[in-house]
Structure 1
Amino acid sequence: MMRPGGILFSEMTPEPSWEAEFHDWYDTEHIPVRMAAPGFLGAQRYNRQEGPGFLAVYDMEAPTALQTEEYKRIKGEPSERTARMLRDVSGFTRYTGKLLSWQQQEGISDTEVLESPVLYPVFFTVPPDRQADFNAWYTEDHVPKLLQEPQWLGCRRYEIVDGAPHDYSHIALHHLASAQALESPARAAARNTPWRDRLASESWFRGTYMIFLRRGARFSAQQAGQKLESDDE
């Protein structure tokens, strides 16, 4: 499997009165249509652990998958149902990222990481002149210590190249076997090092943290292609 060089992180919240229709639309139309577009590799949906909100993380070969004529047509010519859903949802977020690093436990596959039960995204807004130090700290100091916890399956980090509603510059997608990993001694140790303390003393070092639980099976572009072939028979 090709490692995703780009992601689209998209969160939205429907009204409770039509949540069931929202999920049917997302699973049977919204994601499958995108999986058939060039450059899309897969997608996974999530529920927020606390409060409303549903997330989809689309994995792409590169952020340029959002610039193809096929994708522009999908965005520019939505079905009536899609237009209605996107008009009426709230809590909309949309961030596009370019791969910086991918680290994971030895002995597990990329698929096991991507299908983790828990996703723990962390956003930062890092000044340009501090990004080299920040990136080195994350990959050389922070993540290796987190991976001392067996339930911390992996971390993939992306530079945000476009997004709203906030001006984040980086996102780390931490894939966990259980949210209990957040209470582990390994995480405590990772948050208590001289390098982190030095960065934490700077005013910009304020992360935004979320916890999401996997919702349903992972979607893949391969499955979308197989369905298209079946429909043509």
Structure 2
Amino acid sequence: MRGDAVLFSEMTPDASFEADFHDWYDNEHIPIRMDAPGFRSAQRYKRDGGPGYLAVYELASDEALRTPSYDVIKKQPSTRTRFMLDNVTGFTRYTARSIGIAEKAEHPDAFATAPVLYAVSFTVPKDGMAEFDAWNEEEHVPLLMRCGDWLQVRRFEVISGEPGTYTRLTLHYLRDKSALESPERAAARDTDWRKRLAKRSWFKGDYAVFEAFRPRQVGRFPEL
């Protein structure tokens, strides 16, 4: 089930404990969260061309991160969890609220089934948000969605996170990463509106491609 918020977190284990990292993630780290109110599901991904592993948690709302149950999870980690979090590198953790979605009618579950996730983050200042959001909603995303392999786009307001200062996160769900080389994407990146935005000093996005990794896990108690 899709949530109204996501928790987006990436980590890179050292090769010396990578196998144990995956066992911990699959059998302890995610399952304990799937038992917490408001955690609907979690999907793991592997960074394309890099060592990082991403997890995207679907939350009923960001209130899921402020329940007594989650407070215990955060403040009373197991010895194994403390070791992993102290020793992984490339750690990121962002909480974001949904502000928009575009999808193909025949693929409403693309967030759960698409094999490729393309994540784009921007640090948009307050005085640029209205135009940035309008550009995405009115032009950029509709042009991308003309590509047959571009299944769904979800836009989020980042409300907290580290280590970056991002304020906008967009998750693109693709049938194949070749969509990134499609004529539709080229057209979406070559408009007058985008060229105007590209002149702004803050218009510098962080782009990452991930491939689905491991089966999706679903929460037992999804609602708050």
Give the gaps of 5 or more residues in structure 2: none
Does 2:80 match 1:81? yes
Displaced runs of 4+ in structure 1, greater than 3 A?
Answer: none
Separation (CA, whole Å) in 2 of partners of 1:113 and 1:62: 16
Give matches, 1:180-191, under 5 Å: 180-191=178-189
Give matches, 1:1-233, under 5 Å: 1=1, 3-109=2-108, 111-222=109-220
Query: 2:166 is paired with a residue of what secondary structure?
Result: coil
Q: Is the 8 A contact 1:126 1:204 kept in 2?
A: yes
Q: CA deviation at 1:113?
A: 3.1
Structure of greater relative contact order (alpha carbons < 8 Å, 6+ residues apart):
2
Q: Is the 8 A contact 2:145 2:151 kept in 1?
A: yes
Separation (CA, whole Å) in 2 of partners of 1:106 and 1:24: 36
Q: Is the 8 A contact 2:110 2:152 kept in 1?
A: no
Q: Is the 8 A contact 1:114 1:175 kept in 2?
A: no
Q: Which amino acid aligns with 2:185?
A: R
Q: CA deviation at 1:203?
A: 1.1
Q: Which amino acid aligns with 1:133?
A: E
Query: 1:210 is paired with a residue of what secondary structure?
Result: strand
Q: CA deviation at 1:4?
A: 1.1
Number of aligned residue pairs: give it: 222
Q: Which amino acid aligns with 1:208?
A: D
Query: 2:216 is paired with a residue of what secondary structure?
Result: strand
Q: CA deviation at 1:174?
A: 0.5
Q: CA deviation at 1:114?
A: 2.5
Separation (CA, whole Å) in 2 of partners of 1:107 and 1:188: 24
Q: Is the 8 A contact 2:155 2:170 kept in 1?
A: yes
User: 1 or 2, which has the higher helix percentage?
Assistant: 1
Separation (CA, whole Å) in 1 of partners of 2:186 and 2:110: 24
Q: Is the 8 A contact 1:122 1:207 kept in 2?
A: yes
Separation (CA, whole Å) in 2 of partners of 1:131 and 1:114: 28
Separation (CA, whole Å) in 2 of partners of 1:121 and 1:201: 22
Separation (CA, whole Å) in 2 of partners of 1:31 and 1:57: 10
